[in-house]
Amino acid sequence: MLRFVAIFLACLTVSLPVPAQQADAPIQQVLQSHRDILLESSRRTIGPAIDTLANSGLPAAQDVLERWQTKDMWFNEDSGLFVYAEEIDRDTLRIFDFANGSEIGIVPDDDFDQLKPNSGIRSMIGTALVQFQLSDPDRDTRVAALNAIERGAEKSHLAALRDSIPTESDEALLQRKMRLERLLTIRFGETDAARIEAIKSFAGDLGVDVRAALNPLVAVRLEAAAALPDAPDIGRTLVPGSEALSRHDAYALLVDDGLAKPRISRDNQRTALIENIEDGQVAGIRVATLDSQSARDLAYAALAEQGTVDAVATAAEVEERLANHVFYERYIGAPPEVVAAAQLALGAIENKVAVNRAFDLGLDALSLASIYFLAAIGLAITFGVMGVINMAHGEFIMMGAYTGYVVQLFIPDYTLSIMVAIPLAFAVTFGAGVAMERLVIRWLYHRPLETLLATFGISIALQQIAKNIFGTQARPLTAPGWLDGSWVINDIVSISYIRIAIFGLALLFLALILFVMNRTRLGLEVRAVTQNPRMAASMGINPDKINMLTFGFGSGIAGIAGVAIGLYAKVTSEMGSDYIVQSFMTVVVGGVGNIWGTLLGATMVGTLQKGIEWLNPSNTLAAQTYMILFVILFIQFRPRGIIALKGRAAEA
């Protein structure tokens, strides 16, 4: 029934004339002036029509572009006018006037052609719409417009951006617009003075967008001439054979510019000579005499004179041409004054980039040091108090990480699960450490070789047990959502929130251990046993019990370190072996059994490793090798570490 009503209404209005004001409207006149281009709808020719609409200043221009972009613009073949329409059904349209948005009527679509711009044309229309969207009342629309300009800025955007700045009410968008306006001024500024002023405003700015705007200005083209031109746009001169310009590239430039004859490879030369052998001769020269390169060059030159082969340069001619020409760079990105300003700005930026990269490297080193400190602090306590080389220390780290994984299986809230996992990991590994000390370590005191072998065997056994329980596949230990992402200081310096949390945890445990060792009875007894176990025993302290608790305490701290490390590293049965070497190096370098020494040792080892990786970023194994060599050399000069401990650990 509705279809019949639509057809009936269409029959009533099909004969209605198009209002006269539509044909006379300014927006319609603009469309008519580009009618052929609009109907052809070719990306190669559509540009002038889009630009005319965008720059017309007519209120209806934005509506036309938006309707055209969404394929809602139609062309009436009878009247020759453009309208926008809504499809009522497959055969009927409700058409509207572009001039004032009023409805014209309901008509059949037989006499209307829909304009269907392809993706390329729609992209061009979207670029043109930016100038309208910059002042749109909706903030999200303005943000989208700024994003579009940043993706593909055009010269026409500069004026539109400047016009929108005085009316911008949002402070964040205002600052963004002002920055973007200066960037566009660098590229499209009307005068060199305006461009230079905009460039100077970015001196020392670390934004990637600034460098992207400045680098094209200092673009160069390599040229060659018999003498260096006296022109302001000439940059540095290059010497053939230097790192900046090889001799091959220099001569290739001369050939491309028509300043020298091309060269020929020896294989191709030899092939050409063989192909032109006649009666044992090449161009009248006996083949038997072509036993040197100069003779072969002479024979080839003779063939070139006869027109048999193309003339090429000999080695002597190549040297002569290179010696008689000067090679230089010519700036092609901007006028000389603008180039000079860009070079000064880029120089200031590069200096600041270098400083920030050093700061970023320092943050990475500090972050790595905090990880090594957490991994080694338990080992420092057990080794310092008991003199036990525990090769299974890494497996206590692994046990702590797996404890965190198991907790998350039962507690889906990641924040709560981590809060539960930390004390539980301490309890699990404390118990495992006490059991290990009671069953194995206590029988091997003062027998370091047997202790090392026994704990190494325990390490292998614990790894196999973990494989049997959890498999060989890495297990996830997921950090809470508030630890996602990074703290971005600028475009150069950033650090992940997880590493910040690990650094904070390292400081917390440093404070906790210092409190336990200096402010509690347990710490007093541990220090007494460390300095003089016989005297401590005579004062009523049980050294055997202290050894057990100390070993368990050090193992428990390793378990907590495992939870922290597992938040960003893969949790596998072998993860402990990734940290055992660094842990021992940290303890030995810092000073066996000294908390502050462990902190300094972790800082030194972490900084050294990051520094070597920065010098040789493609080979982390080499970095670790060099670090071990440095530690060995360091121990030769300071065998007791940075802070030497007095007492039993020092004697051991």
Which residues, other chains included, contact 424 with Cβ-Cβ below 8 Å and sequence gap of 6+?
Answer: 403, 407
pLDDT greater than 90 at residue 263: no
**Inter-residue contact 85 to 112 (CB < 8 Å):** yes
pLDDT greater than 50 at residue 6: no
**Phi, psi torsion values for 281, nearest 5 degrees:** -135, 155
Which residue from 605, 564, 554 is spatially nearest to 582, judged by alpha carbons? Answer: 605
CB atoms closer than 10 angstroms to residue 482: 10
pLDDT above 70 as % of the chain: 93
Q: Which range, 63-77, 370-384, 389-403, has the best average confidence (pLDDT)?
A: 389-403
- DSSP 8-state code for residue 522: H
DSSP string covering 570-622: -B-TTTTHHHHHHHHHHHHHH-TT-HHHHHHHHHHHHHHHHHHHHHSTT-HHH
DSSP string covering 218-253: G-EEEEEESS----TTEEEEE-TTSSSS-HHHHHHH
Query: What pLDDT shows up at residue 88?
Result: 85
pLDDT confidence band for 650 (50 / 70 / 90): very low
pLDDT greater than 90 at residue 429: yes
Query: What pLDDT shows up at residue 495?
Result: 84
Using CA atoms, how far apart are residues 246 and 410, in angstroms rounded to an integer?
65
Which of the two residues, 157 and 307, has the higher pLDDT score?
A: 157
Which of the two residues, 417 and 59, has the higher pLDDT score?
A: 417
Which residue from 456, 453, 452, 462 is spatially nearest to 428, judged by alpha carbons? Answer: 462
Query: What pLDDT shows up at residue 12?
Result: 43
Query: What pLDDT shows up at residue 406?
Result: 92
Which residue from 171, 127, 120 is spatially nearest to 147, judged by alpha carbons? Answer: 127
385-398 pLDDT, tens per residue? Answer: 667 788 888 899 99
pLDDT greater than 90 at residue 425: yes
- Token pair, residue 476, equals 């996830």
CA 102 vs. chain centroid, Å, equals 52
pLDDT confidence band for 620 (50 / 70 / 90): low
Sheet holding 73-76, edge to edge: 103-108, 92-96, 82-87, 73-76, 112-114
CA 38 vs. chain centroid, Å, equals 43
Listed in sequence order, the DSSP H helices in 70-170 are 119-133, 139-151, 155-164
Q: Helices H, strands E: what count in the chain? A: 28, 12
Query: What pLDDT shows up at residue 435?
Result: 92
**Phi, psi torsion values for 387, nearest 5 degrees:** 70, 25
Residues linked to residue 105 through DSSP beta bridges, in sequence order = 95
**Inter-residue contact 145 to 136 (CB < 8 Å):** yes
Which residue from 91, 135, 107, 99 is spatially nearest to 21, judged by alpha carbons? Answer: 99
pLDDT (mean) for 194-202: 90
Return the SS3 of 175.
helix
Amino acid at 420: V
**Inter-residue contact 401 to 477 (CB < 8 Å):** yes
CA 223 vs. chain centroid, Å, equals 34
pLDDT greater than 90 at residue 601: no
pLDDT confidence band for 536 (50 / 70 / 90): confident
Using CA atoms, how far apart are residues 12 and 546, in angstroms rounded to an integer?
104
Which residue from 404, 384, 419, 369 is spatially nearest to 553, judged by alpha carbons? Answer: 384
Query: What pLDDT shows up at residue 504?
Result: 87
Query: What pLDDT shows up at residue 423?
Result: 92
Give the number of C-alpha atoms closer than 13 A to the C-alpha of residue 44, restricted to the C-beta side.
0
Prediction pTM value: 0.65
The angle at the Cα of 488, spanning 487 to 493, to the nearest 5 degrees, equals 115
pLDDT confidence band for 401 (50 / 70 / 90): very high
Which residues, other chains included, contact 222 with Cβ-Cβ below 8 Å and sequence gap of 6+?
Answer: 238, 245, 253, 327, 328, 329
Cα-based distances in Å from 206 to 213, 223, 353: 12, 32, 7
Cα-based distances in Å from 333 to 23, 150, 344, 443: 47, 20, 15, 78
pLDDT (mean) for 436-461: 87
124-176 pLDDT, tens per residue? Answer: 887 777 777 888 888 888 888 888 888 878 887 888 888 889 888 889 999 99
Query: What pLDDT shows up at residue 619?
Result: 62
pLDDT confidence band for 436 (50 / 70 / 90): very high
- The burial of 258, by beta-carbon neighbours within 10 Å (0-12 exposed, 13-18 middle, 19 or more buried), is given as exposed
pLDDT confidence band for 15 (50 / 70 / 90): very low
pLDDT (mean) for 419-432: 93
- Token pair, residue 394, equals 């890494």
Listed in sequence order, the DSSP H helices in 45-154 are 47-54, 61-69, 119-133, 139-151
pLDDT (mean) for 303-319: 78
CB atoms closer than 10 angstroms to residue 56: 15
The angle at the Cα of 608, spanning 498 to 645, to the nearest 5 degrees, equals 95
Using CA atoms, how far apart are residues 101 and 433, in angstroms rounded to an integer?
81
Amino acid at 249: D
Listed in sequence order, the DSSP H helices in 440-491 are 448-470
Amino acid at 19: P
The angle at the Cα of 39, spanning 36 to 41, to the nearest 5 degrees, equals 110
pLDDT greater than 60 at residue 16: no
Using CA atoms, how far apart are residues 319 and 171, in angstroms rounded to an integer?
64
- DSSP 8-state code for residue 191: S
Query: What pLDDT shows up at residue 17?
Result: 47
Query: What pLDDT shows up at residue 22?
Result: 66
133-142 pLDDT, tens per residue? Answer: 888 888 888 8
Query: What pLDDT shows up at residue 13?
Result: 42
Cα-based distances in Å from 173 to 134, 167, 179, 205: 10, 11, 10, 19
106-107-108-109 Cα dihedral, nearest 10 degrees? -100
Query: What pLDDT shows up at residue 385?
Result: 62
**Phi, psi torsion values for 455, nearest 5 degrees:** -70, -30
330-377 pLDDT, tens per residue? Answer: 998 888 899 889 989 988 888 888 888 888 888 888 888 888 888 888
pLDDT (mean) for 319-325: 87
